[in-house]
């Protein structure tokens, strides 16, 4: 009975779909923002197998590695053009004491990872290992400081250790093998301080924030971008209080938004879902558009010049842990449904960059909506990885407004979402890129792109789709979801025409 109702709901959804969309690309609307590369930010946490096995195997591992970092994962990071990487958590950050993770490995204390499955953390991946990784790959580090169980002095000394040229922290760093300071831009002052990061009220935390931020100094030409811990989801009061009490002392304010069925009970399977559940997931994920707008409006009231950035430093899908895995390790598979969430979300984020300056999907390897999954020495790239790689042409490109009218879908949970998504940018080499998504499971859509300035001469593209929305890339099997060249777009007079297959994501380059 439930199944029949679900199918009927999905049918109702698809009947509402439109089969044709006209997109007008408006380059005459000048003065548009550059899309910060940091919108494509990532998050690495000491959680499950994200760091250990996922990124770090140690130099003595039989898994091929460069100085302890697994080689296959390094190569995948490079192709992704990871702009910024947040570390060490998450909830882990507020029980992390950085001094445990420096110096000879054999002397580093072992701690119980209380947040994540009580796994024993041997601290073999610490400050040097993280910052050297970022430096090697040209990634901007984003350090998440311990406010919940740490002290002002501990965070102040960490900043000094990482960034000062002189003084006893610099001497200690040199003794541990690194003479030159690193460049560290982003400093998060606490994580989820309303919950696992200290269980505080916004009023109380805003004072705490100011204390920690004050003593986190700029050393030796390094300029910190200080991020205050922000709200979860729809907690607009948190944003209001933080802006009222501390806006002048922060460079950014964070926000967390997960696409999750709920915080109690089952979150649903990552791979086994009905059409109704598919649309529920998508509709919940695109609600971020409204959530961002609401937080931005509050920030605008206190900061009309938009000096303070909004950073969505945790987002993504959150399903039940895969059977057989430690429930505290949050390991989930990643299907074409996740790819669709990624495409719709990135297209939304790119329209908010007047205020939204960073977004960090959780987490880069082996946790939640990961880019990469590993199993021993095997590695797979997820459908979400492919979307991030295809869309990275938008990094640092100038946003180009585009207008279209499309239909809407209503999910079983009653959320209304558009049945089409598009975003356009022009990069420094002059190429115009259009990222398109058709979330409808059973209907292709024909698209006509028209341009107010460009006379299109050629078009090329890539497509990500699968014969089954449940498809995912599994260990030891040929990839079930991988991008392919898209030859279905044609220049037709002053327009470009194409058909977007059902449940597909396409990125076009128009010259
Ligand atoms: O991403 C998993 C956890 O979700 C993070 O550690 C925490 O910040 C959030 O609650």
Residues 474 and 358 both lie in one domain: no
Residues 38-63 have a mean pLDDT of 98
Rounded alpha-carbon distances, angstroms, from residue 263 to 111, 238, 331: 27, 19, 16
Domain boundary (400, 423, 445) is at 400
CA 237 – ligand 1 centroid, Å: 21
What pTM was computed for the model?
Answer: 0.96
Residues 196 and 67 both lie in one domain: yes
CA 116 – ligand 1 centroid, Å: 10
pLDDT at 60: 97
Integer Cα distance of 368 and 333 in angstroms: 8
What is the residue whose two structure tokens read 């197998």? 49
The answer to whether the beta carbons of residues 333 and 473 sit under 8 Å apart is no
Residues 60 and 175 both lie in one domain: yes
Helix axes 275-286, 2-15, angle to 10 degrees: 50
C-beta neighbour count of 282 within 10 angstroms: 25
Q: What is the largest CA-CA distance in the chain?
A: 71
pLDDT at 394: 98
pLDDT in tens, 431-484: 999 999 999 999 999 999 999 999 999 999 999 999 999 999 999 999 999 999
pLDDT in tens, 272-298: 999 999 999 999 999 999 999 999 999
Residues contacting 380, CB < 8 A, separation 6+: 372, 373, 374, 473, 474, 475, 479
Residues 129 and 197 both lie in one domain: yes
Q: How confident is the model at residue 337 (pLDDT cuts 50, 70, 90)?
A: very high
Domain boundary (352, 382, 400) is at 400
CA 261 – ligand 1 centroid, Å: 15
Q: How confident is the model at residue 18 (pLDDT cuts 50, 70, 90)?
A: low
For 116, the 3-state DSSP assignment is coil
Residues 435 and 317 both lie in one domain: no
Residues 101 and 198 both lie in one domain: yes
Helix axes 275-286, 288-302, angle to 10 degrees: 10
The answer to whether the beta carbons of residues 440 and 308 sit under 8 Å apart is no
Domain that holds residue 61: 37-400
What tokens were used for 58? 């140690």
Catalytic residues: 192, 314
In the DSSP assignment, the letter for residue 371 is S
Find the radius of gyration of the CA atoms of the chain.
Answer: 23
pLDDT in tens, 133-152: 999 999 999 999 999 999 99
Residues 356 and 454 both lie in one domain: no
> Which residue from 54, 119, 314 has its CB within 8 A of the most atoms of ligand 1, so it is best to mutate?
314
Residues 27 and 157 both lie in one domain: no
pLDDT in tens, 244-255: 999 999 999 999
pLDDT at 2: 37
CB hemisphere CA count around 190 (13 angstroms): 31
What tokens were used for 130? 């993280």
Residues 58 and 167 both lie in one domain: yes
Q: How confident is the model at residue 7 (pLDDT cuts 50, 70, 90)?
A: very low
Q: Are strands 421-426 and 432-438 parallel, antiparallel or unpaired?
A: antiparallel
Instruction: Report residue 182: phi and psi, to 5°.
Output: -90, 165
> Which residue from 41, 50, 91 has its CB within 8 A of the most atoms of ligand 1, so it is best to mutate?
91
Please report, for the domain that includes residue 126, its CATH number. 3.20.20.80
Round the average pLDDT of the chain to a whole number and report it: 95
Please report, for the domain that includes residue 25, its CATH number. 2.60.40.1180
For 173, the 3-state DSSP assignment is helix
Residues 369 and 503 both lie in one domain: no
CA 257 to chain centre: 10
Give the E-state strand segments of 389-458 in sequence order: 398-400, 402-404, 408-410, 416-418, 421-426, 432-438, 445-451
Residues 166 and 222 both lie in one domain: yes
Query: By percentage, how much of the chain surpasses pLDDT 90?
Result: 96
- Ligand 1 atom closest to Cα of residue 45: 6
The answer to whether the beta carbons of residues 76 and 371 sit under 8 Å apart is yes
Helix axes 236-246, 202-215, angle to 10 degrees: 50
Residues with C-beta less than 6 Å from any ligand 1 atom: 45, 89-91, 191-192, 314, 362, 368
Q: Report the domain count for the chain.
A: 2
Residues contacting 291, CB < 8 A, separation 6+: 233, 234, 255, 257
pLDDT at 88: 98
Nearest-CA residue for atom 5 of ligand 1: 90
For 135, the 3-state DSSP assignment is helix
On the question of pLDDT at 196 being above 50, the answer is yes
Residues 415-426 have a mean pLDDT of 97
CA 94 – ligand 1 centroid, Å: 11
Residues 420 and 452 both lie in one domain: yes
Residues contacting 335, CB < 8 A, separation 6+: 270, 271, 383, 469, 470, 471, 472, 481
The answer to whether the beta carbons of residues 340 and 505 sit under 8 Å apart is yes
pLDDT at 19: 83
Domain boundary (378, 400, 422) is at 400
> Which residue from 44, 50, 90 has its CB within 8 A of the most atoms of ligand 1, so it is best to mutate?
90
pLDDT at 316: 98
Residues 181-206 have a mean pLDDT of 98
Run of H or E residues at 7:
helix 2-15
On the question of pLDDT at 6 being above 90, the answer is no
pLDDT at 293: 98
Rounded alpha-carbon distances, angstroms, from residue 202 to 82, 230, 273, 288, 306: 32, 9, 38, 22, 21
The answer to whether the beta carbons of residues 383 and 339 sit under 8 Å apart is yes
């Amino acid at each position: 009975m439930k199944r029949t109702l679900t199918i009927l709901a999905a049918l109702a959804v698809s009947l509402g779909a439109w089969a044709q969309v006209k997109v007008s690309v408006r380059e005459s609307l000048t003065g548009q923002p550059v899309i910060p590369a940091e919108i494509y930010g990532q998050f690495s946490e000491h959680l499950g197998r994200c760091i250990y096995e996922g990124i770090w195997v140690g130099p003595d591992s039989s898994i091929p590695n460069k100085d302890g970092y697994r080689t296959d994962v390094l190569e995948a990071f490079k192709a992704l053009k990871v702009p910024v990487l947040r570390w060490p958590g998450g909830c882990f950050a507020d029980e992390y004491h950085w001094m445990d993770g420096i110096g000879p490995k054999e002397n580093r204390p072992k701690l119980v990872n209380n947040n994540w499955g009580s796994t024993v953390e041997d601290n073999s991946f610490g400050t040097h290992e993280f910052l050297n990784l970022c430096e090697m790959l040209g990634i901007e580090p984003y350090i998440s400081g311990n406010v919940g169980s740490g002290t002002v002095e501990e965070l102040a000394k960490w900043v000094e250790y990482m960034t000062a040229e002189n003084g006893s922290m610099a001497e200690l760093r040199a003794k541990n093998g690194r003479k030159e300071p690193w460049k560290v831009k982003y400093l998060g002052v606490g994580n989820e301080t309303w919950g696992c990061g200290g269980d505080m009220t916004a009023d109380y935390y805003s004072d705490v924030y100011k204390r920690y931020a004050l003593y986190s100094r700029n050393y030796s030409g390094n300029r910190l971008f200080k991020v205050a811990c922000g709200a979860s989801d729809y907690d607009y009061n948190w944003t209001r209080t933080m802006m009222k009490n501390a806006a002048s002392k922060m460079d950014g304010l964070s926000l967390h938004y997960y696409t999750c069925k709920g915080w109690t009970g089952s979150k649903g399977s990552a791979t086994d879902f009905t059409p109704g559940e598919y649309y529920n997931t998508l509709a919940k994920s695109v609600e971020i558009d409204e959530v961002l707008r609401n937080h931005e409006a509050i920030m605008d009231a206190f900061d009309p010049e938009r000096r303070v950035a909004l950073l969505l430093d945790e987002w993504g899908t959150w399903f039940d842990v895969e059977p057989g895995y430690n429930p505290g390790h949050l390991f989930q598979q990643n299907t074409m449904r996740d790819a669709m969430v990624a495409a719709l979300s990135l297209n939304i984020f790119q329209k908010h960059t007047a205020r939204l300056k960073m977004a960090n999907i959780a987490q880069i390897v082996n946790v939640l909506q990961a880019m990469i999954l590993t199993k021993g020495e095997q590695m797979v790239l997820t459908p979400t990885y492919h979307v991030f790689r295809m869309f990275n042409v938008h990094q640092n490109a100038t946003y180009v407004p585009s207008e279209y009218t499309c239909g809407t879908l209503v999910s079983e949970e009653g959320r209304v979402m558009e049945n089409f998504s598009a975003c356009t940018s022009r990069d420094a080499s002059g190429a115009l890129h259009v990222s398109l998504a058709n979330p409808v499971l059973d209907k292709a859509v024909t698209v006509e792109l028209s341009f107010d300035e460009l006379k299109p001469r050629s078009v090329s593209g890539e497509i990500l789709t699968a014969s089954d929305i449940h498809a995912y890339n599994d260990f030891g099997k040929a990839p079930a979801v991988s991008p392919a060249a898209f030859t279905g777009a044609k220049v037709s007079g002053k327009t470009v025409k194409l058909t977007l297959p059902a449940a597909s994501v396409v990125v076009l380059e128009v010259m």
